[in-house]
Structure 1
Amino acid sequence: MHSSNAGTQRRALAAALLIPGLLAVAATVQAQGAGTPPAPPAARSFPVAPAAATAADPATPLGADIAGLLQHARGTNPAFAAQRAETAAARERVDSAGALPDPNFQVELMDFTNEMRGGGTTLVPGQVGETRYRFIQPLPGWGKRELQTRTAAAKADEATARLDAEWLDLALTIKQAWLRYYAADREAALARESLALLGGLEEATLARYRQGLAPQQAVLRAQREITSQRLAQVGIEQRRRAAAAALNGLLARAPHEPLAAPAEPSALPAVLPLPALVERARANNPALSADAHAIEAARLERERTWADRYPDYSIGLTNNRPRGEDQSWDLMFEVMIPLQQSARRAREREAAHMVAAADAKREATASRLGGEIGSAWATFTSAQETQRLLRGTLLPQAQATRDATRSAFETGRVDFDAVLEAERQLVDTRMSLLQAEVEARMALFEIEKLVGESL
């Protein structure tokens, strides 16, 4: 959830959690006014959604869980499809990299004016003084073709690793978008529920007002809360539609296409050891793997550049056909003379700098990876500790304060504002617990991307 919407979201959730408790208090006081013994207050809790599927299930509607969205995005996301096609193109270049150059075929017409033999000018083979048919095959120097093949294979492996890294980035974006959709969907459901409960609270307050047990300000306050909740519901529904449209965009679907209501996500892991995460990232992160393949490709390219110090060759076979005479055969052997040493040395220095750059890029990626893992791990650990403290200490204290205030309100020892303040403290605690859980889940998604696997 974005920080700019935190205040609106907090008020919407607070209203959703406050109203049921207030209804219970109102019903208790109304029952007291009618001579009915009060019922003990019931504890409040978050509504529980159905458990989410842990893997992609064909029967699971699209949007209910992350696994189904990821499976759908693999085949529909256009950006990933483009990266996949580029990777396939790089793989196809391996076969052509080490192939021999195409041969040349020449037709040479000697004495096409026929001055030596008498006759007219012609360009028809066999009707000139002599026709030569020549076949020439260029041959790269020894080892160059193998180096070209190995370089293309290393670049193809790099492209494959880049594809994996692209998928992890896309998967993280989808997970984060789904989590925002999940939060907005739950808020929308709570807003609808709280609006219905507010109507019941208004009726109960009106009934107490008619009996002289509540002031007119209580009725006006209930009606004001209904109006505020309706305004909050508009914003919540807008955020839910925006989150659904963002998810549809990642899946190459129309923005208005429906998505299933999100199910409850899987439980968070209790502990994530940082040293093990760093080791797994160094072993599995595709960005590091891509940089390693880039280093290998740069080194092979440097070797190929050094091999250019040695000449290339060509072999030619010529068929001579003089008009009216017997044909003959010639064999030709050609050697390329590497004379442009200054240009060649410049290319060798360029290749050496490219190797140094590839090494430095991998070191930079490793350093950045370690920093990002440490930051995400710290966020996850802090959020988990916050949840533990809230759930184990502050939440029970807030619940006990709320229950005590309710009991005091029923006996007339505190006013309605004290009950409302106790309920708000409990709501703030539950909201903080929810925010800590969302923060931990976002950090977990980031760690999964960095280590290259699900945790």
Structure 2
Amino acid sequence: MAKCLCMHSTACRNRFSMKSPFAVPSSRLPRPAALALVLAFTLGSGSAWTQGSSDTPALGTSPQALVEYARQRNPGFAAARAEASAAYERVTPAGALPDPTLEVELMDATNTMNGRPASLLPGQVGETRYRITQPLPGWGKRDLAVKAAEAQATQADAMRDAAWAELAAKIETLWLRYYAADRERVLNREGLTLLQSLEELALARYALGLLPQQAVLRMQREITSQRLALVEVEQRRKGLATGLNGLLGRAHDAPLAAPADPPLLPEGLAPGALFEAAAGTNPEVQVAANDIDVARAGRERTYRDRLPDFAVGVTNNRPYEGKSSWDVMFEVMIPLQQSSRRAREREAEYMLMAAEARREDARARASGELGTAWSMYAQGRETLRLLEHTLLPQAQATRDASQAALSSGKVDFDSVIEAERQLIDIRTQRLKAELDTRLALTEIKKLTGDLK
């Protein structure tokens, strides 16, 4: 033992005595500097370890984190947000006065009256006139323009919210499918592990002549089928992860964490309150309602066009030889084109009627879609209750009984395989029912405007 320890210490001395190209001779490194270098490496390693052990939740564990990420990174929603901001910037110019105009008029540019050569320079002609004109909209037209621009900005907000609700619903839907694929993969792996253990037992019995070859072959076929199902669900899980990354504005192969269990399904969903919310706070209904405000503001502006517009101006007259003088101009637009004006008024009325009809259509569609989603949710809740409290316990008891009977030689492997297959099918059916129920709940939240 002492010899081994001596050899080990000698090897350690030889190893540490090897010269490194980055080594500093001890004679050239003062002791305080060496201590500072050791402390720097120690603190740096500790900092790196702290950063690596951060407890920040990984992206993909819950749909809420994905939705918040998409709120900042999704390009489509960024475009809708920018359009809404641009609509608000149009409010101030809508109520502003038109820009004035400046005119320079050269009277007698040929200088016929004074016998000089023709000229196009101000002050070198018979008379130069400088005129500034300011158009003035009729009474109340600027206020109505501001009102119409505000209505359009509010409509842009509603369209942005509708786009966001659609995007959030897509993200949550894809995440739920991603979650179901991940759980289905776990179930398939558990089933494959059990079948492989049964295969070992079957091969052992077959070697002893206690089991026919057909039972072993069927067991291997079941294992192959289970592996194929596992490959299919893994590829589906990867495809769903790619789709989620696309909605988040990330690279298609960006990693996503394994999904965590979603919260429990709510118990007390009142249909009456849901239908009332769908009629009032549904994003599409909100867009249609704001479209009515826009159409109403447009109609008021059209009727206000019956009043004339005005313009005022000031002119400075400067003759070549003589005193300057000032003129004041007042201009009125004469509303003579009554036929075209009445056509525009009828158009505004029809546009308002169309907007009101679109709102009612949006309410009817929201109510119909909510009825379908509510029916699917209620059906899914009942299906889950039957599966969890009746079929699944029965299948588990049947599987356990068949395995116990196999140990005592009372049943064959076919019965055990069939019991295990039924348990896997019922677990998969329960997972599918949970997915359908949660998808229906997501649709309900989208239709009632609960996805913010």
| Residues 421 and 192 of structure 1: CA distance in aligned 2, closer, same or farther (over 3 Å) | closer
**Which amino acid is the alignment partner of residue 439 of structure 1?**
D
How far 1:350 sits from its partner (Å)? 0.2
Within 5 Å, give how 1:304-453 maps onto structure 2: 304-453=301-450
1:158-202 deviations in whole A, cap 9, x for unaligned?
110111010000011111111122222233344445445544333
How far 1:246 sits from its partner (Å)? 0.7
Aligned-partner Cα distance in 1 for 2:260–2:376: 24
SS of residue matched to 2:90: helix
Within 5 Å, give how 1:9-88 maps onto structure 2: 59-88=56-85
Query: Could you tell me which of 94, 113, 117 is aligned with 1:97?
Result: 94
Question: Does the 8 A contact of 1:138 with 1:315 survive in 2?
Answer: yes
**Which amino acid is the alignment partner of residue 422 of structure 2?**
Q
Within 5 Å, give how 1:43-192 maps onto structure 2: 59-192=56-189
How far 1:406 sits from its partner (Å)? 3.7
How far 1:155 sits from its partner (Å)? 1.0
| Residues 396 and 202 of structure 1: CA distance in aligned 2, closer, same or farther (over 3 Å) | closer
The question of 1:206 aligning with 2:191 is answered no
The question of 1:298 aligning with 2:295 is answered yes
How far 1:339 sits from its partner (Å)? 0.6
Q: Which residue of 1 aligns with 2:237?
A: 240
Q: Which residue of 2 aligns with 1:266?
A: 263
How far 1:101 sits from its partner (Å)? 1.1
SS of residue matched to 2:268: coil
How far 1:424 sits from its partner (Å)? 3.0
Question: Does the 8 A contact of 2:128 with 2:318 survive in 1?
Answer: yes
Unaligned runs of 5+ in 2: 1-53
How far 1:58 sits from its partner (Å)? 8.8
Question: Does the 8 A contact of 1:137 with 1:316 survive in 2?
Answer: yes
Aligned-partner Cα distance in 2 for 1:193–1:400: 17
SS of residue matched to 2:371: helix
Q: Which residue of 2 aligns with 1:17?
A: none
**Which amino acid is the alignment partner of residue 148 of structure 1?**
A
Question: Does the 8 A contact of 1:295 with 1:359 survive in 2?
Answer: yes
Aligned-partner Cα distance in 2 for 1:125–1:257: 70
Q: Which residue of 1 aligns with 2:278?
A: 281
Question: Does the 8 A contact of 1:168 with 1:452 survive in 2?
Answer: yes
TM-score, scaled to structure 2: 0.84
| Residues 278 and 184 of structure 1: CA distance in aligned 2, closer, same or farther (over 3 Å) | same
**Which amino acid is the alignment partner of residue 70 of structure 2?**
A
Farther off after superposition, 222-231 or 155-164: 222-231
**Which amino acid is the alignment partner of residue 169 of structure 1?**
E
Question: Does the 8 A contact of 1:248 with 1:255 survive in 2?
Answer: yes
Question: Does the 8 A contact of 1:139 with 1:314 survive in 2?
Answer: yes
| Residues 401 and 237 of structure 1: CA distance in aligned 2, closer, same or farther (over 3 Å) | closer
Aligned-partner Cα distance in 1 for 2:359–2:377: 26
SS of residue matched to 1:317: strand
Question: Does the 8 A contact of 2:242 with 2:252 survive in 1?
Answer: yes
Question: Does the 8 A contact of 1:63 with 1:69 survive in 2?
Answer: yes
Question: Does the 8 A contact of 2:278 with 2:363 survive in 1?
Answer: no
SS of residue matched to 1:443: helix
Farther off after superposition, 284-293 or 294-303: 284-293
Unaligned runs of 5+ in 1: 1-56
**Which amino acid is the alignment partner of residue 311 of structure 2?**
S
**Which amino acid is the alignment partner of residue 241 of structure 1?**
K
**Which amino acid is the alignment partner of residue 432 of structure 1?**
Q
Aligned-partner Cα distance in 1 for 2:182–2:386: 27
Farther off after superposition, 354-363 or 234-243: 234-243
Farther off after superposition, 190-199 or 257-266: 190-199
Farther off after superposition, 260-269 or 161-170: 260-269
Aligned-partner Cα distance in 1 for 2:146–2:399: 74
Query: Could you tell me which of 250, 254, 270 is aligned with 1:253?
Result: 250
How far 1:281 sits from its partner (Å)? 2.6
**Which amino acid is the alignment partner of residue 77 of structure 2?**
F
Farther off after superposition, 414-423 or 306-315: 414-423
Q: Which residue of 2 aligns with 1:42?
A: none
The percent identity for this pair of structures is: 58
Question: Does the 8 A contact of 1:161 with 1:290 survive in 2?
Answer: yes
**Which amino acid is the alignment partner of residue 186 of structure 1?**
R
Farther off after superposition, 146-155 or 217-226: 217-226
How far 1:360 sits from its partner (Å)? 0.4
Aligned-partner Cα distance in 2 for 1:276–1:347: 42
| Pair member with larger Rg | 2
TM-score, scaled to structure 1: 0.83
Question: Does the 8 A contact of 1:272 with 1:377 survive in 2?
Answer: no
SS of residue matched to 2:163: helix
**Which amino acid is the alignment partner of residue 303 of structure 2?**
W
Aligned-partner Cα distance in 1 for 2:193–2:389: 32
**Which amino acid is the alignment partner of residue 309 of structure 1?**
R
Question: Does the 8 A contact of 1:172 with 1:449 survive in 2?
Answer: yes
The question of 1:219 aligning with 2:216 is answered yes
SS of residue matched to 1:370: helix
